[in-house]
Chain A
Amino acid sequence: MKHLISVQELSREDTVGILDTAIELNRVTDGGTKILPTLRGRTVVNLFYEDSTRTRISFERAAKRLSADVVTFSANGSSVSKGESLKDTALTLNAMGADMIVLRHPSPGAAHRLAHAGWLESSVLNAGDGKHEHPTQALGDAFTLRAHLRPGANDFAGLTIGIVGDVLHSRVARSNIFLLGILGAKVIVIGPPTLLPVGIENWPCEVSYSLDAHLPELDAIMMLRVQQERMNGTFFPSELEYSRTFGLNRKRAKELPEHAIVMHPGPMNRGVEITAEVADSGRSVITEQVVNGLIVRMASMYLLIGGDASVA
């Protein structure tokens, strides 16, 4: 594996391999706190065309835990914001000898282009490309789900997972739906039709417009963030109506099975898609998701550039 662009390129074996690597890394670093010499001498460039402090810090920490040299280019204060094209930036980074480029970009397919357009030789790790994918977020979520619901298992057969909210604009939802499908879980996507992509009925998931109808069957529920800019009345009438229909509150959380966990990729709009009470409750694994995101990023970095991919 040279690049990690989309979970749809992964097999179940690949996925389990990444999760197993993450388990070992988690163990030997005490949850990502110890520093390993593994990537000493390798350069990881974080190329961020979107402001995302959380994701950027997670990738920086992952690379530093593995002793890589980390360079961060973000859209503020570098050539990236001066209109330099992605290609020219790529050529520059290639000349600098970057072993890996972690790309966050607003355009779907940008990471795929960076990896395959012939601009550079580095490995490319997609840290979110527009509405397309965010594979390490989904891998981190799979790590969390596995730890809680299927420890040591090589698939998620028999699990039912609800993904609730704005799937249309969410790369996290896309990556999760397809990765959970690869792992054999049953996924139920729940949201207003205006926030579900055309053709989703052919994806590996069920589609529903009612949250209440499915709560008792969910082993885990993932609440998606409602972006501020969607709240302008064209996708749904009001924030209040949204949270009444699709928000996870204490009453709804009670309808979940006892063992069910509550997930959110963050950052949360407390009081919109999830109430503070539920987000801070014992069944919420939201802070674990952050740590696990770091761990699978370390695992992905090790698997992509730990060895020499040209030696077969």
Chain B
Amino acid sequence: MSEPFSGASASSSRTSSRMVADSEDISRALRRLAHQVVENVKDVSHLVIMGIPTRGVPIAERLAKNIGDIEKISIPVGSLDVTLFRDDLQMRPTKALEQTRLPAEGIDGKTVILVDDVLFSGRTIRAALDAINEYGRPAVVQLAVLVDRGHRELPIRADYVGKNLPTSLSEKVSVQISEIDSVDQVVIQSTIEQL
């Protein structure tokens, strides 16, 4: 499946990659985010972390564990597939649905923190807000992302950002998480036009 926002075709271009965060950087960022959440959310007993598949889910689990370690409680984690709520479905190839799993406690009256790997146009988060709305009525919804690469198309911002990463539109940000990719790293791929 191709990255829908990437640039020119492979025949006339080549790509180069550079790593901008390694495993240690990611762990440090997630520890920092956990502290920020604990500081910001006064009562973590009503906290629910919802990861957006695919890589938002393991990130959500790590974040929840970090928070739980600090507060010595278990934080409920769920997953929220937003595919069915996207407004740009018709611009991409059909995608298999990922799992949506609400925690047993539900989300009504809770403080829900949505977690995604990369914040880009904001359309995923808009869809996530619609999806959340379909499944319940949280008291508060916040957003945590590992990377914010800019280029927002909607008035959406993250409450917790692991790393701000200024990028060009022709670049592709790839967050790799060991649960899925067997390595923790953030890579920027640039496509170089061959003249």
Report A's interface with B, CB cutoff 8 A: 1, 17, 20-21, 24-25, 27-28, 34, 36-38, 40-42, 66, 302-304, 306-309, 311-312
Contacts and interface: CB of A to CB of B under 8 A. Distances in A.
B92 A311 contact: yes
Contacts of B90: 41-42, 307-308
Contacts of A309: 93-94
A138 B84 CA distance: 24
Given A24-B81, A28-B134, A38-B89, A311 B96 contact: no
Given A36-B84, A41-B90, A307-B89, 20 more contacts: A20-B97, A21-B97, A24-B81, A24-B97, A24-B100, A25-B97, A27-B100, A28-B100, A28-B134, A38-B85, A38-B89, A40-B87, A306-B95, A307-B95, A308-B90, A308-B93, A311-B4, A311-B92, A311-B93, A312-B93
Q: Which 8 pairs across A and B sit closest by C-beta, in order of nearness? A: A307-B94, A24-B97, A38-B84, A311-B93, A36-B84, A307-B93, A306-B94, A21-B97
Q: Is the interface of A mostly helix, strand, loop or mixed?
A: loop
B134 A302 contact: no
Contacts, number: 64
B22 interface: no
B2 interface: yes
Nearest to A21: B97
B104 interface: no
Q: Is the interface of B mostly helix, strand, loop or mixed?
A: loop
Interface of B: 2, 4, 81, 83-85, 87, 89-100, 130, 134-135
B100 A306 contact: no
**Residue of B84, B91, B93 with highest tally of chain A CB at under 10 A:** B84
Given A34-B134, A36-B84, A311-B4, A24 B91 contact: no
11 contacts: A20-B97, A21-B96, A24-B97, A24-B100, A25-B97, A28-B84, A37-B87, A308-B92, A309-B94, A311-B2, A312-B2
